[in-house]
Structure 1
Amino acid sequence: MKVVLSTLNSKFIHSSLALRYLRAYGRTRGQAYDIVEYTINMPVLDIISDLTEHEADIVGFACYIWNIDMTLHVASLLKAVKPEIKIVLGGPEVSYTARRILESHDYIDFIVQGEGEEVFAELVARLDKKESPFKPEITGILGRQRIGETLEQPINYSANTQIEEAEITKIVGSETVAEVADLGTIPFPYDESDMVDLEHKIIYYESSRGCPFSCQYCLSGNANTVRFFPQERTFKELKWFVDHKVKQVKFVDRTFNCAKHHHLPLMQWMHDVATNTNFHLEMEPVLMGDEEVALLSSAPKGRMQIEVGVQSTNPATLQAIRRYNNWDHICKVIAPVIKAGRTHVHMDLIVGLPHEPYERFAQSFNDVFSLTPHALQIGFLKLLQGSGLERSNEFSYVYDPKAPYEVLSTHVMPYEDIRFLKHFEDVFERFYNSERLRTVFGYLGQRLIREKSSAFHYFEALTKAWLQQDLHQRKLNDRDQMAFLHVYFEKQGDVVSQELLEYDCLVSFGGKVRGDELGLPKQTKELLQAGEAFWREETLVRQYIPTYRFVEWRRIRQDYCEHTVSLETAHILGALDNQTLETYQKEGLSKVTLIIDVKQRQRPFVRPEVVAN
């Protein structure tokens, strides 16, 4: 029996851990499954064409909010052209609505509810032996039993079938969400072939399943339990990734730090191992203590990055969603990690939660912004099928009934506010969260906090300026976006931000994004002549660039830019210390010319004045 496992990833760089777990467990039962992955950006008919080439007897799809509608479309066409294929769905998007899916989509044969390794393998074994998958029931398998059908002679459901599906089938089986009791029975999901196939993709991994919390917007805590993979095995598997020089291992544990006996030894191992691999962890800040802070604050830079879900700082909101944040504790454990600068910190907020109108969301934003995380992600509430909020009628939610079920209005936040916040999120993501503009927005963030100004209202004004120019309706390139910011800072009279933006443009785009509208005119021959005498003095240049050797002008101009800025900007960039700044100010200087390494191998420095011979 030929079995194909498939999913539609949201992007090419993503990969499916779930399918590889199914494949690995199937091998323990003597079963072989092929894995074929697509993306939601691929044409449906191309996917159908490829799937049919495999001549499968069973096709299983992993379903998530980003792919459920397209997956159902693919499944319906696949059934139409190959009615003999058994189609099986699994994944979080169908685990809690299995009956509803089967009732609405007559081309689906079975749904795996919950963790599928054991139950899917048993389903395949039964179908291979032409035995009933319902007698006895397989826990976690709900399916369609066709009246009058035998496994040897399936009913052909083509587009011309005249008999109504409801008249000849009934939905039977288990409606229990399955769990694997002993995670140690599931083999390591990756093999050598995956390291070739996934060379340019994100590698997902887990050391635990489940969540100890019961947040009402989420499905992970429905069972309110956590199970762990054997720790010694986890060490070996992480070493396998390191040995294979994997760029990033992204843990999908819903709360990585839920048990100190489990996560602290793993974090210590990540901290100590000699590798360039980055480990991405979802951390619950309320459960963090001195040990976690110490490890994250002293790890080699870039070794770990953490994602911290705050969602809201409003006590009424947190109570309604059954989330128990302690803001003072969050500040205590997160602030030193950010200050240490060793670990990238990503923090999350959600728009549309109960009891959080527009201005109260602004306060939550300002609270989190005050910690200056490297990224502050603004998400929009999605009423996941089967979640507590989706089952509740308390908060007058209006939302899109199709995946991803995004909220359009709430009992305290009208659609107009949510619509504006979508634009706000877009502008904030483009600029503040962009790694390309870390210098200017790092400066702005510190200034807003120092002046006790509302960061939310600063970015609100920036968003309004963006909308007034109808930029949300245009496809903008990098130059367009940088030019918008440059003009905005100019109108604000914010010279330092303008100059820091110019610096970010030089180092982020390798000196290639230039133009008068960015304050970065092209380096003409006349402009370059002023610094020529400096570059010819190799001994002098080596005081700033130890490895410098004059070879040719072209290479110098490719790697270095000369740019005139105010003294304050030069000081912020580290090109002037306090004493030199005071000296220049006393001498009446207002600007200096910096030499900027566009590859950031060393920090900017003030070009010394050299008299040409």
Structure 2
Amino acid sequence: MRILLTAINSKFIHSNLAVRYLRNFTKDMDYEPIVREFSINDREEKILEEIIKEKPGVVAFSVYIWNVEMVSRISNLIKSVDENIEILYGGPEVSFDSSKFLENNVGEYVIEGEGEKTYRDFVSFKLGLMKLAEVRGLHYKDKNTVYSNEKRPLMSMDEISFPYEDNEDLSNKIVYYEASRGCPFNCKYCLSSTSHGVRFLDINRVLKELKYFIDKEVRLVKFVDRTFNCNHKFSMAIWEFLINQNIKTQFHFEISADILKDEEIKLLAKAPEGRFQFEVGVQTTNDEILRNINRFVNFSDIKEKVEELMSIKNIKQHLDLIAGLPEEDYNSFVNSFNDVYKIKPEEIQLGFLKLLKGSSMREEAEKYGMKFSPYPPYEILRTDSISYDEIIKLKKVEEMVDKYYNSRKFNNIIAYFERKFKTPFDFYYSLGEFFDQKGYFNKNIGNVEYYKVFLDFNNEILKDDNSILIEILKFNYLIFNKKRGLPEFLRTGITKEEEKILKDNLRDKYSFKEYYLEKFSIDIETYVLYEEILKKDSYYLFNNSGEYISVKHS
């Protein structure tokens, strides 16, 4: 018997934990499990072709909000090609209305909740070793009638199999890893709030498994633990182990900053730069709104710890905000944005509330006048406190922040504009409105155009002179882009005579196949260090690594 464990990931570089768990939890059984991974950017016809080519008896799909509609369509196509192929669904998107999902879709089976043991029993059923009605946690369809078996209790983490294989090529993948399941908190918008308590893997096993990723030289390992640092001793042991490794692998953790202990921060200060990335769910800086979603913490506590981490300068931090929370209006969210922006983390994510199936937030939607899309990802449209038009305004800001701030490629340009606006939000909102007016949200624009937008914005909206801005744009462009062939709108600089004199003086020390020479009408170093504009001719060499060297004109 061949079962095709099928993952349709949101990006090609992602890896899927679920299908690997199921395969390795049943490795000792007398059947043939096959893992195939695709992405939502693949053509459905091609995915269908690859599935049918495997000649499976059962196709098992891992279903999430980002792929459920695609999975439904592909399932219909599978049945059109061969109605004898059975379909099994599992995952968070089918775990809270399993019977209804099965009623409304083709296919025979749905696993509810944790899948490993239920899937193992399902395989036993297919091998004739169990009756279908005995498979706890399974919903099944027989002659268009859906039956629901007894629910399955949560399993011990000690029973979980390590999901990866020795021969797997993970070099071009973001690899996901799970050291614990569950969350100690009860945030209303999160599915983790539907189960209580946290279960941990044995710490010695975790360290052994992390060595697997290190030996394979995996680029990035993302822990999927909902609150990684909820167990002080557990997180300390893992961080200390990873700090002491001589490796290039990066590790990403979702943490609750407010519960970080001084001892943990002292340890983290020893981490090599870039070894760790932290994702911190701020959600809102309005403490009253935090209470509405069962987050009993003050923003001041979160800020204090985030700033302590910022001060040690070796950990990249990603701070999340959520728009559309109960009773948070537009102005409150704008204040939250400005509060978080002042911290200047490496990344800021403006998310929008998703009313997930099974979450208590969905159950309370009517209480707060919440209207949300009935289609995945079930995103908020409006509430009693924030209108649809205001949500759209925030979406424009989100795109500007993601493209310009989070890319870290426009920092010097952003600094130039920030002083021209009352608040950071005002700048991103104004830039987003300009993007919209120009129709840039509705078409793909090239890399060069993302720089030129600033000139047009400065000229048309702020009605300022572009001469200084051009110098800053040119500098930023040369750090992050090819040095040859500057765009026409940035060509202001060096004369052929100046270039010849400088190159003759520098040729013994620098190869001009590797370095590009450019002149600026402001002192670039003063601007980069202090954000001060000092009109003064300056000359710099740029290489392909983003490094720049100041040179003197004699």
Same fold (TM over 0.5): yes
Three-state SS of the structure 2 residue aligned to 1:8 is strand
Equivalent runs, 1:165-564 vs 2, <5 Å? 165=144, 169-174=145-150, 176=151, 178-180=153-155, 182-194=156-168, 196=169, 198-392=170-364, 393-441=366-414, 453-489=422-458, 491-492=463-464, 498-512=470-484, 514-517=486-489, 519-521=490-492, 525-526=496-497, 528-536=499-507, 538=508, 548-550=509-511, 553=512, 555=513, 558-564=514-520
CA offset at residue 526 of structure 1? 4.8
C-alpha change, 1:513 and 1:415, in structure 2 (3 Å) is: farther
C-alpha change, 1:495 and 1:600, in structure 2 (3 Å) is: farther
Three-state SS of the structure 1 residue aligned to 2:228 is coil
d(CA) in 2 for partners of 1:513, 1:90: 52
- 1:80-100 superposed Cα distances (whole Å, 9 cap, x missing partner): 322222211111111111022
> Retained in 2: the 8 A contact 1:573–1:604?
no
- 1:18-76 superposed Cα distances (whole Å, 9 cap, x missing partner): 11111111114454410011111222222122111111111110000000011011112
User: Partner residue of 1:117?
Assistant: 116
Three-state SS of the structure 1 residue aligned to 2:14 is coil
C-alpha change, 1:535 and 1:344, in structure 2 (3 Å) is: same
User: Partner residue of 1:4?
Assistant: 4
d(CA) in 2 for partners of 1:108, 1:522: 66
d(CA) in 2 for partners of 1:340, 1:443: 26
d(CA) in 1 for partners of 2:234, 2:417: 39
> Retained in 1: the 8 A contact 2:493–2:519?
no
- Point out where structure 1 has 5 or more consecutive residues left out of the alignment: 147-164, 539-547
d(CA) in 1 for partners of 2:115, 2:409: 41
d(CA) in 2 for partners of 1:320, 1:596: 54
C-alpha change, 1:328 and 1:485, in structure 2 (3 Å) is: same
- 1:172-206 superposed Cα distances (whole Å, 9 cap, x missing partner): 313x36522x2122221111232x2x321111111
C-alpha change, 1:438 and 1:291, in structure 2 (3 Å) is: farther
User: Partner residue of 1:128?
Assistant: 127
d(CA) in 2 for partners of 1:422, 1:405: 16
Bigger drift between 87-96 and 124-133 goes to 124-133
C-alpha change, 1:302 and 1:520, in structure 2 (3 Å) is: farther
- 1:140 paired with 2:137, answer yes
Among 538, 541, 545, which residue is 1:593 paired with?
538
User: Partner residue of 2:527?
Assistant: 572
d(CA) in 1 for partners of 2:397, 2:112: 37
- Relative to the length of structure 1, the TM-score reads 0.85
d(CA) in 1 for partners of 2:154, 2:498: 69
> Retained in 1: the 8 A contact 2:272–2:314?
yes
C-alpha change, 1:243 and 1:528, in structure 2 (3 Å) is: same
> Retained in 2: the 8 A contact 1:308–1:346?
yes
Bigger drift between 359-368 and 316-325 goes to 316-325
d(CA) in 2 for partners of 1:496, 1:295: 44
d(CA) in 2 for partners of 1:354, 1:348: 17
d(CA) in 2 for partners of 1:524, 1:104: 71
Bigger drift between 118-127 and 335-344 goes to 335-344
What letter matches 2:502 in structure 1? Answer: G
Q: Percent identity?
A: 31
d(CA) in 2 for partners of 1:191, 1:522: 56
CA offset at residue 520 of structure 1? 3.5
- Relative to the length of structure 2, the TM-score reads 0.93
What letter matches 1:560 in structure 2? Answer: Y
C-alpha change, 1:439 and 1:302, in structure 2 (3 Å) is: farther
d(CA) in 2 for partners of 1:498, 1:397: 46
d(CA) in 1 for partners of 2:20, 2:141: 26
Three-state SS of the structure 1 residue aligned to 2:391 is helix
Three-state SS of the structure 2 residue aligned to 1:306 is strand
User: Partner residue of 1:541?
Assistant: none
Q: Which of structures 1 and 2 has the bigger CA Rg?
A: 1
d(CA) in 2 for partners of 1:79, 1:172: 23
CA offset at residue 533 of structure 1? 3.3
Three-state SS of the structure 1 residue aligned to 2:122 is helix
d(CA) in 2 for partners of 1:402, 1:534: 65
- 1:320-374 superposed Cα distances (whole Å, 9 cap, x missing partner): 1111232121121111222332111100001111111111100010111111011
- 1:248-298 superposed Cα distances (whole Å, 9 cap, x missing partner): 111111111110121111011112211011001111112112123223333
> Retained in 2: the 8 A contact 1:123–1:133?
yes
> Retained in 2: the 8 A contact 1:297–1:336?
no
CA offset at residue 397 of structure 1? 1.8
CA offset at residue 497 of structure 1? 5.5
- 1:69 paired with 2:24, answer no
Three-state SS of the structure 2 residue aligned to 1:501 is helix
> Retained in 2: the 8 A contact 1:510–1:598?
no
The count of residues paired between Structure 1 and Structure 2 equals: 550
What letter matches 2:331 in structure 1? Answer: E
C-alpha change, 1:513 and 1:94, in structure 2 (3 Å) is: farther
C-alpha change, 1:594 and 1:474, in structure 2 (3 Å) is: same
CA offset at residue 590 of structure 1? 2.8
d(CA) in 2 for partners of 1:529, 1:410: 65
Three-state SS of the structure 2 residue aligned to 1:5 is strand
d(CA) in 1 for partners of 2:399, 2:359: 27
User: Partner residue of 1:154?
Assistant: none
> Retained in 2: the 8 A contact 1:515–1:522?
no
Three-state SS of the structure 2 residue aligned to 1:370 is helix
C-alpha change, 1:32 and 1:286, in structure 2 (3 Å) is: farther
Three-state SS of the structure 2 residue aligned to 1:250 is strand
Bigger drift between 500-509 and 371-380 goes to 500-509
User: Partner residue of 2:552?
Assistant: 608
> Retained in 1: the 8 A contact 2:90–2:111?
yes
d(CA) in 2 for partners of 1:482, 1:104: 48
d(CA) in 2 for partners of 1:593, 1:126: 76
- Point out where structure 2 has 5 or more consecutive residues left out of the alignment: none
> Retained in 1: the 8 A contact 2:21–2:160?
yes
CA offset at residue 524 of structure 1? 6.9
